[in-house]
Amino acid sequence: MAHDAIRDALAVVLRDMGVQSPEIQLERPRDPTHGDVATNVALSLARQLKRPPREIAEEIAKRLDPVAAGVEAIDVAGPGFLNFRLNPGAVASVVDQILGANESYGSGDVGHGRRVMVEFVSANPTGPLHLGHGRQAALGDAIAALLTWTGWAVHREYYYNDSGRQMELLAESVRARYRQALGKDVEMPAEGYQGEYVKDVADSLQGSVNDRYLDDDTSEALDSVRTHAVAMLRAEQDRDLNDFRVYFDEYFLESSLYDQGLVDDTIRALGDTGLVYELDGATWLRTTEFGDQKDRVMVRSNGHPTYFLPDIAYHMSKWGRGFERVINVQGADHHGTVDRVRAGLQALGRPPGYPEYVLHQMVRVEKDGEEVKFSKRAGSGMTLRELYEQVGVDVTRYFFQMRKPDAHLLFDLDVALDHSDKNPVYKVQYAHARMCSIFGKAEIDLEAIAAGQADLTLLTHDLERELVKQLGEFPATIERAAEHTSPHMLCDYLEQTAGAANSWYHAGNPSRNPELAVLVSDPAVRTARLALARAVQIVLRNGLTLLGIEAPRRMIREVPDDHEPEQ
RNA sequence: GCGCCCGUAGCUCAGAUGGAUAGAGCGCAUGCCUCCGGAGCAUGAGGUCACAGGUUCGAAUCCUGUCGGGCGCACCA
């Protein structure tokens, strides 16, 4: 790589100047007139060397051997930047790398096969998945994919509770609807689940047990109702996720923590830390010892544990299963639990930052500038399925991924439903399809384009150089997005790449600039440009695939399926 | 009251480890292409980076405070 040669040459020069193990940062200047690669190393050394940065830069430029660094020209600019202009071949060689690597271009191995768990969605089976779960599903899936691409062994986990108070409330709600359907005059429980789906569950229950529980108030009967409801709603969530193209390696049940004695183990282990005390009949853990805002109750005065305890037990289970790195993707409304969970785990000797959290803010849907809120079926906000059946899975996933998690997300239905470049998803997909269509026009199978066939030094136009440099940043972009657990960085990159590809393609409009067209008459130039088109196609496809979005070879002008609006 | 997140162009948002005149898309203006009241292309205008201090050769970025918005502060889960 050209970057490595520059880095090595710089290191040699700096050592001669008396700098030991300098940190050399290379970047692509935003302004192309600043060359292909730039470094601010002279600026960052100014203090250490006690010399003006500009003077340091000039000395480096004078000492550096351009041949060894593989560069055509070195300039000192501004306050002391060093700008390198690469040999044309060095710039374009990335095209052959892309063609050679193909499906694996962009992948890396900074993870070295280490294990990491990504826990996401983790909705309790009390109803259909809503938009917050959807954002979480799209984000968690993309984060898991980014980690996989950077060499981590990823485990995707879904955690849920099938007992406890919310489940009791669900069972009581279903039972009330069931009895109402059988003509009995009963009221819904206070704070019960109001959505239409509860009636569906009640209908299904009636179909399966007829009127057996009409007057049966035993806890066994309620348990059966609950079991029926949980099974049905879990199945619905699985369908929702499956159709959203999100999959899990493991579903972890909260009740298993009790069944396997892990909650008791945790109580014992915490008791041994000396941080446990009794107050007002309850058992407390001194989590303030580890930066929590207040101490937390582990066991209530009625003898029942709070949610805190199974949470700790669950994360000890994660650690015990070999996951020393865990990323929990959750809604920001859960941020209050972060400190207490970490504090509890620190009490048991786990490291301070364990586990990591990606907390995402809320989703707001707008149409014609008005907020779209209500779903009768859910009895609250719009469901995930209602959204993606309206705008498509690709668009929904992309919109959830394209903003950084800790910012609020405005989901603009007008943009989502638009089938033009105004819609970023279509813009990227169009660019991919356009590259593919070139091969159709040339009557060449795009798979037949291989590395080493083209004279890439013929890619001399500014738009070509910029596009090639853009493609070369794909691996670093993935690495950075993975490191920051931020899929939106990849979305930004793909939009920029699509824009650069579009500019290049349109500049060669045969009716205006036939000499810039991909399919020019000169066979050598044509071969080089076809190689570039193929490289663009590979990068866009790999990026979209990573995000779980289709990379179509041609765009079919489709009207979204006219689904029955859920009324 | 305390804690977490956010505040960048008319709108929606990028700006990793502090670095060169703060970027993109939409919208707007002008020009071009086109069979088209559609789609596309090119160029341009548009910013006290919420505010005030501080650190630094250099701050949208780091620190402190203020203001505004969201969320959370149970012996609920």
Task: Write the ipTM.
Answer: 0.90
- Identity of the amino acid at A236: E
Do strands A81-86 and A71-77 pair parallel, antiparallel, or not at all (unpaired)? Answer: antiparallel
- Straight-line distance from CA A254 to C1' B59, in Å? 47
Whole-number pLDDT of residue A561: 40
Q: Which residue is nearest to nucleotide B42 (CA to C1')?
A: A507
Nucleotide nearest to A298 (CA to C1'): B75
Strand A326-331 relative to strand A356-360, pairing: parallel
Nucleotide nearest to A165 (CA to C1'): B77
Tell me the CA–C1' distance in angstroms for A472 and B71. Answer: 40
Out of A75-79, A349-353, A490-494, least confident range: A75-79
- Span A484-524, pLDDT tens digits: 999 999 999 999 899 888 888 888 877 777 777 888 888 88
Q: Which of A71, A82, A103, A60 is nearest to A1 (CA)?
A: A71
pLDDT bin (cut points 50, 70, 90) of residue A353 is: confident
pLDDT over 50 at A266, yes or no? yes
Provide, in whole angstroms, the distance separating residue A123's CA from nucleotide B36's C1': 50
Over residues A12-66, the pLDDT tens digits come to 777 777 776 666 777 777 776 777 888 888 777 776 777 777 777 888 888 887 7
If you measure CA to C1', which residue is closest to nucleotide B12?
A: A410
Nearest nucleotide relative to A76: CA against C1': B20
pLDDT band at residue A161 under the 50/70/90 scheme: confident
Query: Any idea which nucleotide's C1' is nearest the CA of A333?
Result: B71
Cα dihedral sign, A345-A350-A352-A353: negative
Distance A423 CA to B49 C1' (A): 27
Dist CA A154 CA A275 (whole Å): 34
DSSP bridge partners of A366:
A371, A412
Query: β-strands A26-27, A37-39: how paired?
Result: antiparallel
Tell me the sheet residues that pair with A205: none
- Return the pLDDT at A328: 94
A135-153 residue pLDDT tens: 999 999 999 999 999 999 9
All structural domains of chain A: 2-86 (3.30.1360.70), 115-162+246-360 (3.40.50.620), 165-243 (no CATH), 424-546 (1.10.730.10)
State, as a whole number of angstroms, the distance between the CA of A502 and the C1' of B42.
13
pLDDT band at A118 (very low <50, low <70, confident <90, very high): very high
Q: Beta A153-160 vs A250-253: how paired, if at all?
A: parallel
* Protein-proximal nucleotides of chain B (any atom < 7 Å from a CB): 2-7, 12-17, 19-21, 23-27, 33, 39-42, 57-58, 70-77
Per-residue pLDDT at A21: 64
User: What's the pLDDT score for residue A106?
Assistant: 92
d(CA A32, CA A218): 76
In this complex, which residue's CA is closest to the C1' atom of nucleotide B38?
A420
**Which protein residue has its CA closest to C1' of B69?**
A408
Q: What's the CA A335/C1' B71 distance, rounded, in angstroms?
A: 8
- Closest residue by C-alpha to C1' distance, nucleotide B4: A335
Output the six-digit token pair for A457: 């030094």
Average pLDDT, chain A: 86
Give the separation between CA A85 and CA A323, rounded to whole angstroms.
45
CA distances to A99, A263, A266, A321 from A308, in Å: 52, 10, 11, 20
Measuring alpha carbon to C1', the residue closest to nucleotide B71 is A333
pLDDT at A20: 67
pLDDT, position A2: 64
Could you tell me the distance in Å between the CA of residue A514 and the C1' of nucleotide B38? 27
Q: How far is the CA of A9 from the C1' of B4 (A)?
A: 46
pLDDT class for A325, splitting at 50, 70, 90? very high
Which nucleotide lies nearest residue A293, CA to C1'? B3
Residue A559's pLDDT is 41
Contact A128, A243 (CB under 8 A): no
Average pLDDT over residues A300-304: 88
Question: For A159-181, what is the mean pLDDT?
Answer: 90
Using the structure, give the distance in angstroms from the CA atom of A293 to the C1' atom of B2, rounded to a whole number. 9
Q: Is the pLDDT of residue A181 over 80?
A: yes
Looking across all nucleic acid strands, the nucleotide with the smallest C1' to CA distance from residue A39 is B19
Closest CA to A205 of A224, A183, A186, A185: A224
Nearest in space to A360 (alpha carbons), one of A186, A132, A169, A546: A132
How far in angstroms lies nucleotide B61's C1' from the CA of residue A291? 27
- The stretch A191-209 carries a mean pLDDT of 91
Distance CA(A200)–CA(A267), nearest Å, equals 40
Instruction: Provide mean pLDDT across the span A174-188.
Output: 92
What is chain A's length? 567
Tokens of A554: 């041609």
Tokens (6 digits) for A167: 């489940």
| A324 CA – B68 C1', rounded, Å | 40
Query: Quick one: pLDDT at residue A556?
Result: 65
Which residue has better confidence, A163 or A132?
A: A132
pLDDT of residue A22: 65
Closest nt to residue A332, judged CA to C1': B71
The encoded tokens of residue A16 equal 């001669």
Name the closest residue (CA) to the C1' of nucleotide B72: A336
Closest to A438 (Cα-Cα) out of A492, A494, A504, A511: A504
Pull the structure tokens for residue A327: 């990323």
Query: What's the pLDDT tens digit per position in A374-425?
Result: 777 776 778 899 999 988 999 999 999 999 998 889 898 888 888 878 888 9
Q: How far is the CA of A510 from the C1' of B31 (A)?
A: 20
Whole-prediction pTM = 0.91
Burial of A81 (0-12, 13-18, 19+ CB in 10 A): buried
How does pLDDT run across A516-546, given as a tens digit for each residue?
A: 788 888 888 889 999 999 999 999 999 999 9
- Name A294's Cβ contacts closer than 8 Å, sequence gap at least 6: A287, A288
pLDDT at A423: 87
Supply the DSSP symbol for A383: B
Q: How confident is the model at residue A82 (pLDDT cuts 50, 70, 90)?
A: confident
